Amino acid sequence: MAGKYLGQRLKRNEDPRLLTGQALFVDDVQLPGMLHAAFLRSDYAHAWIKSIDPSAARQHPGVVAVYTAADLGKIWKPGPLNVPPPSGIPGVVFNQRTQVPMAKDKVRHQGEAVAVVIAESRYIAEDAAAEIVVDYEPLEAVIDLEKALGEGSPLLYEDLGTNLASFVHQENGSYAEAAARADLIVKTHIVMERGTAAALENRGYVASWDNKSQSLTMWATTQGPIALRNGLATILGLSEHQIRVIAPFVGGGFGPKILLYQPEEIVVSWASLQLGRPVKWIEDRQENFGDTSQERRQIHEAEMALTRDGKILGVKDVFIHDTGAYNSYALTIPLNTQTHTTGPYKVANYLTEYRVVFTNRILVTPLRGAGRTYGTFVMERLMDKAAKRLGMDRTEIRRMNMIQPDEFPYKTGIVGQDFAKNVLDSGNYPAALDKAKEMIGYEAFLKEEQPRLRAEGKHVGLGISFFTEGSGVGPYEGARITVEASGKVNLSTGVGTQGQGHFTSFAQVAAEQLGVDPKNIFVTTGDTEAFHWGAGTFASRGATVAGSAVNAAALLVRQKILKMASKILEAPEEELELADGMVRVADIPSRCISLAELAVKANPSRGAVEPGTEPGLEATAYFGPPYGATAYGCCAMIVEVDPDTFNARIQRLVMAHDCGTVLNPMILEGQIHGGVGLGLGNSFFEKLEMDDNGQLQNASFMDYLIPRASDLPPIEIAHLHTPSPLNPLGIKGVGEAGAIPIPPAFVQAVEDALPEYNLEISEAPLSPNRLFQIVQAAKQA
């Protein structure tokens, strides 16, 4: 439903500021008298803290304060859960252990904060932190997920008596019954790792307590400024209106910045209150590897029961999930895995069960893809294996098991991250499969090009995989829109923004209703003083939920405009049109009034008004979906493997993608490009290498490899448009799309490029080294 503005390929309003260095990021905040914090972090993954001696650091010139857990008083306690465990699933085990502001008695991961130095400069603070003496009694680290659950494993929480954080079992239909009548059962053991978000901007906070106004201003790299304000008010014992949280421009969120009650948020704001001076903490990259949440390993034992003609009868998936030292974000990731494993396929009998394990590593919380990536990998690997065993074309077995366009809404029967049984709202999955095949030239590649390349000694393979992306979950978001007397429009919403283009896409939504150039719509996101209701930017929900709220508010303002203009222009509302910042009588363009003039009239300054008059061309509206909309797509790629070095390179990548109504195709493509980059990282580059003692071996970008521009292939995208019935604009989310289907397509393409070894790859990420080892093993087998 492209309109004059909505759906147009507009350049982003915010880019001139960003590209010329004029945009405000947290580290740009400079305040008179500002102090700097540096945290002393544990080198040990698991140790008792026998004592901490900060006396030398306190004497260090330029140091204002040194605090440990013992100094925090009543502030020190495990933080609240960000998300509760799911209701509606019988037998759920959830052992709650949330992050603490600084470690007391015990450290549970390398990088956990044990003390903070507040000083006149960051240099001084770091020098003094090095002078704090901590006496540790090291303990054996819990790193291996399977050993962690075994007899005699050391325990993170002695009082719990186990490292089991959670257990969840769900079943729709009966897998046992399906397996009993199956012609074929394929089984696989999958180990999949993800990694760190590697946002361009690390976390950072500036907290400024003003004694005279008795108010705290906090600039924060958060994805959830309103939730942060509310949380800080509770923790610090302030009223919510005493705290203003500003999430200015943020250089990438990807999930870890939605996590609330992070130790530094609490300590930095509390320190400002104690000292009556602004305090800044900017996370450095080395810290980020040890103190910002990650997404890591799942180990799956999965099987699929099929008929001999390839119809899926059932799927069983039992997996282990690493939550790290805490589970503050409860079960969102493994729930997403459970609801996304079956993806676009009809699986009448589905058993899914997992255990979540505490380990001596930084906590795990959603990272772009958020559990969907593992589930998609498992299912697509099972599909490939089944296709091979049955001698079927890999795309045909997928097609014949897909949910058909007339079968929506489709109930999977499995409870997901919004605690309701998952429903896929709409789509045309076979069309996306066809489109991706057409774009990559599926038949021609396999029949002609691949044999030709093979004859030239080139090892080139094709990979294709399908995915769904549950998105746009509740609860709600809101927006307020005001037409000013200048004719310009103010738009405020509660979500934070981390590069998604909200300053443009939200403006396009409002512009479509108000007939105003999006350049004249000034969008404010992430400032609790501008808008103070909402949840935040996560789960690919900004466009869907906040965008729908913007649309609703714009409609209300439009109604106000039409009502007023109808009186002034003496024409019925139906005959009026809004365009170019004017209201016009459709057939008589000279009979018109500008929105600016209307805005003046809407704010009477003298005299009486009609009873019930609300001033201003302004409205506030909220939107909450009944459940999340599910986007989907099909990715295909051509990968060349160097048979000498085992380096692999994606030569081409296509994505047929459907997220319903598109607000701005260029922004949408940018989202997919970025997601593909992360997906490629999860396929071939990114792995957090942890030794048995819990020491991260690659805590820098020298050794932790993220895909760079030179690693990314050309990406071709086709948009399909199946509007979601769950919101008036028909939007679905896209933020995580690119990150989900890349690993299964990549490993399938690698197998296809090296047919002589008949590889069966059941892990991601690969690396040249790992691929060499896999090929060596296959040679020997």
Partner 1 sequence: MKPAPFDYYAPASVDEALDILSEKGYDIKVLAGGQSLVPSMNFRLAQPPALLDLNNIPDLAYIKPAPDGGVVIGAMTRDSDVEHNPMVAERFPVILQAMPFIAHPQIRNRGTFGGAIAHADPAGHLPAVTLALNARYHIRSKNGDRWVGCDEFFLGPFTTAMEPDELLVEVEIPALPARTGTSYHQMARQAGAQALVGVAAVVTLDPGERVAAARIALLSVGETPVLAGRAAASLAGKLLTPETIEAAAEAAATVDTDPGGDIHCSPEYRRHLIRVLVAKSLEEAGERARGKRG
Cβ 698 to partner 1, closest distance in Å? 6
Rounded CA-CA distance 398/434 in Å is 11
Closest residue by Cα to residue 664 from 712, 740, 714, 731: 731
Cβ 122 to partner 1, closest distance in Å? 6
Considering only residues 519 through 578, tell me which ones interact with partner 1, judged by CB under 8 A.
none
The end-to-end CA distance of the chain, in Å, is: 56
Considering only residues 258 through 297, tell me which ones interact with partner 1, judged by CB under 8 A.
284-287
Q: Is 777 in the site for partner 1 (CB under 8 A)?
A: no
- Tokens encoding 495: 């979500």
Closest residue by Cα to residue 540 from 670, 368, 664: 368
Q: Is 239 in the site for partner 1 (CB under 8 A)?
A: no
Cβ 444 to partner 1, closest distance in Å? 31
> For partner 1, how many residues bind (rule: CB under 8 A)?
31
Q: In what order do the strands lie in the sheet with 93-94?
A: 93-94, 164-172, 349-358, 312-324, 297-306, 184-193, 763-764
Cβ 777 to partner 1, closest distance in Å? 11
- Tokens encoding 207: 């907290």
Q: Is 126 in the site for partner 1 (CB under 8 A)?
A: yes
Cβ 741 to partner 1, closest distance in Å? 22
Of the pair 538, 646, the CB lying nearest partner 1 is at 646
CA 314 from centre of chain: 30
**517 DSSP assignment:** -
- Burial of 451 by CB count in 10 Å (0-12 exposed, 13-18 middle, 19+ buried)? exposed
Torsions phi, psi for 129 (to 5 deg)? -60, -35
Say if CB 428 and CB 405 are below 8 A apart: yes
Choose one: 203-211, 316-324, 520-528, 640-648; the region binding partner 1 (CB under 8 A): 640-648
- Parallel, antiparallel or unpaired: strands 521-525 and 489-493: parallel
Q: Is 131 in the site for partner 1 (CB under 8 A)?
A: no
Cβ 62 to partner 1, closest distance in Å? 11
Radius of gyration of the chain (CA): 27
Cβ 328 to partner 1, closest distance in Å? 26
Cβ 689 to partner 1, closest distance in Å? 4
Of the pair 559, 700, the CB lying nearest partner 1 is at 700
Of the pair 490, 767, the CB lying nearest partner 1 is at 767
Rounded CA-CA distance 39/68 in Å is 10
Of the pair 22, 651, the CB lying nearest partner 1 is at 651
- Tokens encoding 564: 């007023």
Considering only residues 658 through 687, tell me which ones interact with partner 1, judged by CB under 8 A.
685
Q: Is 768 in the site for partner 1 (CB under 8 A)?
A: yes
DSSP E strands: which ranges in 133-228?
A: 133-138, 164-172, 184-193, 204-210, 215-220
Torsions phi, psi for 420 (to 5 deg)? -120, 160
Of the pair 48, 123, the CB lying nearest partner 1 is at 123
Of the pair 609, 702, the CB lying nearest partner 1 is at 702
Rounded CA-CA distance 144/140 in Å is 12
Rounded CA-CA distance 95/92 in Å is 10
Of the pair 550, 699, the CB lying nearest partner 1 is at 699
Beta pairing partners, 578: 583
Of the pair 666, 706, the CB lying nearest partner 1 is at 706
Q: Is 613 in the site for partner 1 (CB under 8 A)?
A: no
Q: Which of 1, 3, 19, 123 binds partner 1 (CB under 8 A)?
A: 123
Of the pair 455, 702, the CB lying nearest partner 1 is at 702
Q: Which of 87, 239, 769, 780 binds partner 1 (CB under 8 A)?
A: 769
Choose one: 60-68, 540-548, 595-603, 644-652; the region binding partner 1 (CB under 8 A): 644-652
Torsions phi, psi for 720 (to 5 deg)? -105, 155
Longest CA pairwise span in the chain (Å): 93
- Burial of 413 by CB count in 10 Å (0-12 exposed, 13-18 middle, 19+ buried)? middle
Of the pair 666, 705, the CB lying nearest partner 1 is at 705
Cβ 677 to partner 1, closest distance in Å? 12
Cβ 131 to partner 1, closest distance in Å? 11
Rounded CA-CA distance 395/409 in Å is 24
CA distances from 100 to 105, 137, 361, 492 (A): 12, 20, 14, 33
Instruction: Report helix angle 742-753 to 665-680, nearest 10.
Output: 60
Identity of residue 6: L
Considering only residues 693 through 732, tell me which ones interact with partner 1, judged by CB under 8 A.
697-698, 700, 702-703, 705, 707-708, 710-711
**What is the SS3 assignment for 383?**
helix
Cβ 707 to partner 1, closest distance in Å? 7
Of the pair 46, 687, the CB lying nearest partner 1 is at 687
Of the pair 283, 527, the CB lying nearest partner 1 is at 283
Cβ 691 to partner 1, closest distance in Å? 9
Of the pair 251, 725, the CB lying nearest partner 1 is at 251
Choose one: 236-244, 260-268, 559-567, 641-649; the region binding partner 1 (CB under 8 A): 641-649
Considering only residues 374 through 413, tell me which ones interact with partner 1, judged by CB under 8 A.
none
Of the pair 48, 701, the CB lying nearest partner 1 is at 701
Q: Which of 11, 615, 772, 777 binds partner 1 (CB under 8 A)?
A: 772
Rounded CA-CA distance 512/663 in Å is 11
Of the pair 608, 709, the CB lying nearest partner 1 is at 709
**What is the SS3 assignment for 99?**
coil
Rounded CA-CA distance 118/132 in Å is 13
Q: Which of 22, 59, 645, 758 binds partner 1 (CB under 8 A)?
A: 645
Say if CB 466 and CB 344 are below 8 A apart: yes
CA dihedral 152, 153, 154, 160 (to 10 degrees): -90
Cβ 769 to partner 1, closest distance in Å? 5
Cβ 491 to partner 1, closest distance in Å? 38
Choose one: 404-412, 449-457, 564-572, 768-776; the region binding partner 1 (CB under 8 A): 768-776
Rounded CA-CA distance 616/610 in Å is 14
CA dihedral 575, 580, 581, 587 (to 10 degrees): -20
Of the pair 287, 484, the CB lying nearest partner 1 is at 287
Helices (H), 259-331: 263-275, 285-291
Of the pair 635, 690, the CB lying nearest partner 1 is at 690
Between CA 427 and CA 438, with CA 433 as vertex, the angle to 5 degrees is 130
Q: Which of 689, 692, 756, 777 binds partner 1 (CB under 8 A)?
A: 689
Cβ 129 to partner 1, closest distance in Å? 10
Q: Which of 104, 122, 311, 421 binds partner 1 (CB under 8 A)?
A: 122
Torsions phi, psi for 150 (to 5 deg)? -85, 170
Torsions phi, psi for 540 (to 5 deg)? 50, 50
Of the pair 48, 772, the CB lying nearest partner 1 is at 772
Cβ 114 to partner 1, closest distance in Å? 17
- Tokens encoding 82: 């960000």
Q: Is 651 in the site for partner 1 (CB under 8 A)?
A: no
Choose one: 156-164, 193-201, 346-354, 765-773; the region binding partner 1 (CB under 8 A): 765-773
Q: Which residues bind partner 1 (CB under 8 A)?
A: 122-123, 126-127, 130, 284-287, 644-647, 685, 689, 697-698, 700, 702-703, 705, 707-708, 710-711, 767-769, 772-773, 776
